[in-house]
């Protein structure tokens, strides 16, 4: 039996070497630890919190289920998986998979077989991968299948709320804006301390679920690594829109240039550049450009050249004579059992779990015509899934970056509530989490004072920033501005302390979101200032394009406000203070000591 691990097993930058020395028991065919779940649970303790689950894994073995019973079982599966992130130990997952296997046990094997055309396409695409097409036809629901359903449930909750009503074009646009607002780009190497890199634990791409929860990811122009693009794909899938990564061959290069996302709306590919955070405007500067417009009218992409500083947009119309389409290769979408489950889900739980890859291939071939080179499975999701189950160093890297989203801390539950639209509860929990001592740290005498300070500062910064996002979701822009401005001033302010501290990266998102908020309010000078703040990610190009557009609209407008003098980090940690914050205005007020 695996020994229960300490709640403080994985510590941030100050203890990077300690984390590097840990062994995680992951690899081979063993299921890896869930990056966003932690701890363990007494395996002998029954889960009596929800009806069907309390009957255990064999509850329905040999029992004939009527329609009402089957519907109740599916509702229970969804409830179990919705609660799974905050129920460490995997019991919710094991009960849910057992219930699904009982639910479908009377279905014939033929229901779980791939169509011949789909099987042939997957055989071709997976020929050189470690995955086998036959894996998709396994009728048993396993850990990875429950994770896929859990992921899609979160994506569905976000997409159905954010996309709202209206035309599909408008709905995709809202999902794109939300993705850029909630997933800040950061330099790939920034979250990882040098101590871990020296041990071979390098920065890695992450699944959309992880990227959404922690609020940041990375994109490398032209490269396979594209966290925010993958996240946008996953959200659009839930409203029935195919989104793919477009690329094109490059002379004398073995790898293609991975360019931008395209959403297939009414048979037409529209271009959304998740790297710079802009939907590519049409030829007249309005609307959203189609692939055909970008390939035939040079002005479409030339308009994305940044004049000062001079940064040409890497792709031009001549590159698009032939285009490659890369499909989201998250394997859960290809299994026929997911189609069966999707068809039986009803009402608010009607998430998208399945999408046939051969049908996607045909849809993109029809849309691109002679401009199409190939339609392939995108390697990024396949690579991430393989690494998650087979590469201990990969899991260590993910666990380090996601450290603060263990159920031991107050962030995960509040963030999930915000993402699901429970804004009142989310704001209350983020408010309680701000500037409060983390429960249990006082008793953890083995943790050095500077590490306790780092943990507390990071939780303060995460909760302040996420509270700002919650205020945005709740259409309270002034309160959001107040909180983002506070996030920019929270410690650590010493640049040397930033590398390897993931929370500090959210300041980049605060700048970008402040720029948009000030622009919407008509405070042009402040918007230009926020957009122009130092940022070494591809998002900076989009920010500077927005700033330049504002300058050109009013070249004789007032100058941006002066830069605030940088705060000086004290040599010694300041005494702990307990503060609370008013949810409406983000101001700090004194309160009695209390743990979250």
- 62-76, 141-155, 439-453: which has the minimum mean pLDDT? 439-453
Residue for token pair 């004194």: 590
Question: Are the C-beta atoms of residues 313 and 304 closer than 8 Å to each other?
Answer: yes
How many Cβ atoms sit within 10 Å of the Cβ of residue 49?
12
Q: What is the pLDDT of residue 67?
A: 74
Question: Of 411, 521, 389, which is closest to residue 470 (Cα–Cα)?
Answer: 411
- Angle subtended at Cα 225 by Cα 409 and Cα 538, rounded to the nearest 5 degrees: 90
**pLDDT at position 38 over 90:** no
Per-residue pLDDT tens over the stretch 517-553: 999 999 999 999 999 997 889 999 999 999 999 988 7
Tell me the whole-structure pTM to 2 decimals.
0.84
Q: Quote the DSSP letter at residue 421.
A: T
**pLDDT at position 42 over 90:** no
**pLDDT at position 27 over 70:** no
State how beta strands 323-327 and 372-377 pair.
parallel
Per-residue pLDDT tens over the stretch 264-305: 999 999 999 999 999 999 999 999 999 999 999 999 999 999
Domain segments of the chain as ranges = 120-389, 409-590
Collapse the DSSP code of 190 into the 3-class scheme (helix H, G, I; strand E, B; otherwise coil) and give the result: coil
Distance (Å, whole) CA 289 – CA 280: 6
pLDDT band of 490, cuts 50, 70, 90 = very high
Per-residue pLDDT tens over the stretch 66-100: 777 888 888 899 999 999 988 876 789 999 999 99
Q: Quote the DSSP letter at residue 248.
A: E
Collapse the DSSP code of 325 into the 3-class scheme (helix H, G, I; strand E, B; otherwise coil) and give the result: strand
Phi, psi of 218 (to 5 degrees): -130, 155
Q: What is the CA radius of gyration of the chain?
A: 24
| HSE-CB for 173 with a 13 A CA cutoff | 12
**pLDDT at position 132 over 50:** yes
Q: Does domain 409-590 have CATH number 1.25.40?
A: yes
pLDDT band of 559, cuts 50, 70, 90 = low
The percent helix, strand, coil of the chain (3-state, each to 5) is 50, 10, 40
Phi, psi of 516 (to 5 degrees): -70, -40
C-alpha distances (whole Å) from 155 to each of 84, 505, 591 are 15, 23, 37
| HSE-CB for 218 with a 13 A CA cutoff | 20
Describe the crossing of helices 477-489 and 449-473 by its angle, rounded to 10 degrees. Answer: 160
DSSP string, 190-243: TTS-HHHHTTT-------HHHHHHHTEE-B-TBSS-BHHHHHHHHHHHTTT-EE
Phi-psi region of 20 (alpha: psi -120 to 50; beta: other; left: phi over 0): alpha
Q: What is the pLDDT of residue 491?
A: 87
**pLDDT at position 488 over 60:** yes
How many Cβ atoms sit within 10 Å of the Cβ of residue 230?
27
Describe the crossing of helices 506-521 and 524-531 by its angle, rounded to 10 degrees. Answer: 160
User: Which spans in 391-448 are helix H?
Assistant: 392-401, 411-420, 423-433
Long-range contacts of 155-158 (CB under 8 A, 24+ apart): 155/208, 155/209, 155/234, 155/235, 155/237, 155/238, 155/351, 156/238, 156/350, 156/351, 156/352, 157/419, 157/420, 157/421, 158/212, 158/235, 158/238, 158/419, 158/420
State how beta strands 278-279 and 268-273 pair.
antiparallel
Is cis: bond before 492, omega within 30 of 0? yes
C-alpha distances (whole Å) from 355 to each of 18, 86, 140, 332, 381 are 43, 29, 19, 9, 15
Mean pLDDT score of the chain: 83
Residue 397 CB partners (closer than 8 Å, separation 6+): 192, 196, 201, 202, 203, 204
């Amino acid at each position: 039996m695996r020994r229960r691990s300490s709640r403080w097993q994985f510590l941030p930058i100050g203890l990077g070497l300690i984390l590097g020395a840990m062994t995680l028991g992951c690899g081979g065919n063993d299921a890896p630890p869930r990056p966003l779940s932690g701890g363990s649970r007494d395996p002998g303790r029954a889960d009596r919190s929800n009806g069907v689950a309390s009957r255990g894994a064999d509850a329905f073995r040999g029992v004939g289920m009527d329609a009402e019973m089957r519907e109740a079982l599916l509702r229970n599966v969804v409830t179990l998986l919705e609660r799974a992130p905050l129920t460490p130990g995997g019991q919710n997952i094991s009960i849910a998979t057992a219930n699904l296997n009982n639910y479908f046990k009377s279905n014939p094997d033929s229901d779980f077989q791939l169509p011949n055309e789909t099987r042939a396409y997957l055989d071709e695409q997976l020929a050189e991968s470690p995955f086998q097409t036959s894996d998709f036809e396994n009728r048993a629901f396993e850990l990875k299948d429950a994770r896929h359903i859990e992921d899609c449930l979160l994506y569905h909750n976000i997409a159905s709320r954010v996309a709202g009503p209206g035309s599909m074009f408008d709905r995709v646009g809202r999902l794109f804006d939300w993705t850029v607002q909630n997933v800040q780009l950061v330099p790939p190497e920034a979250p990882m301390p040098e101590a871990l890199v020296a041990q071979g634990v390098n920065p890695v791409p992450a699944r959309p679920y992880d990227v959404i929860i922690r609020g940041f990811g990375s994109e490398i122009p032209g490269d396979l690594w594209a966290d925010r693009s993958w996240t946008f794909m996953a959200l659009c899938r839930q409203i029935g829109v195919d989104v793919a990564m477009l690329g094109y061959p490059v002379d004398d290069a073995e790898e293609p240039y991975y360019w931008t996302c395209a959403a297939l709306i009414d048979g037409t590919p529209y271009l959304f550049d998740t790297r710079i955070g802009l939907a590519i405007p049409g030829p007249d500067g309005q609307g959203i450009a189609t692939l055909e417009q970008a390939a035939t009218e040079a002005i479409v992409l030339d308009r994305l050249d940044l004049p000062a500083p001079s940064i040409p947009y890497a792709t031009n119309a001549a590159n698009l004579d032939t285009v490659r389409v890369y499909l989201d290769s998250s394997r859960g979408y290809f299994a026929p059992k997911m189609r069966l489950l999707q068809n039986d889900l009803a009402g608010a739980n009607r998430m998208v779990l399945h999408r046939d890859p051969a049908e996607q291939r045909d849809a993109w071939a029809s849309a691109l015509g002679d401009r199409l080179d190939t339609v392939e499975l995108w390697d990024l999701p396949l690579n991430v899934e393989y690494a998650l189950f087979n590469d201990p160093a990969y899991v260590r890297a993910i666990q380090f970056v996601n450290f603060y989203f263990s159920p031991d801390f107050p962030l995960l539950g509040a963030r999930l509530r915000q993402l699901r639209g429970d804004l009142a509860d989310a704001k209350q929990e983020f408010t309680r989490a701000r500037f409060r001592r983390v429960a249990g740290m006082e008793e953890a005498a083995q943790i050095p004072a500077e590490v306790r300070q780092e943990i507390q500062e990071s939780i303060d910064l995460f909760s302040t920033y996420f509270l700002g996002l919650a205020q945005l979701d709740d259409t309270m822009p002034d309160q959001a501005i107040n909180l983002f401005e506070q996030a920019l001033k929270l410690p650590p302010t010493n640049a040397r302390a930033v590398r390897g501290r993931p929370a500090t990266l959210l300041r980049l998102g605060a700048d970008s979101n402040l720029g948009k908020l000030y622009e919407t309010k008509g405070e042009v000078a402040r918007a230009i200032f926020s957009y122009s703040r130092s940022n070494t990610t591809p998002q900076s190009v989009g920010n500077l394009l927005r700033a330049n557009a504002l300058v050109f609209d009013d070249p004789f407008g007032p100058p941006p406000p002066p830069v605030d003098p940088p705060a000086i980090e004290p040599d010694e940690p300041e005494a702990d203070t307990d503060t609370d914050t008013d949810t409406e205005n983000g101001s700090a007020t004194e309160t009695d000591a209390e743990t979250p």
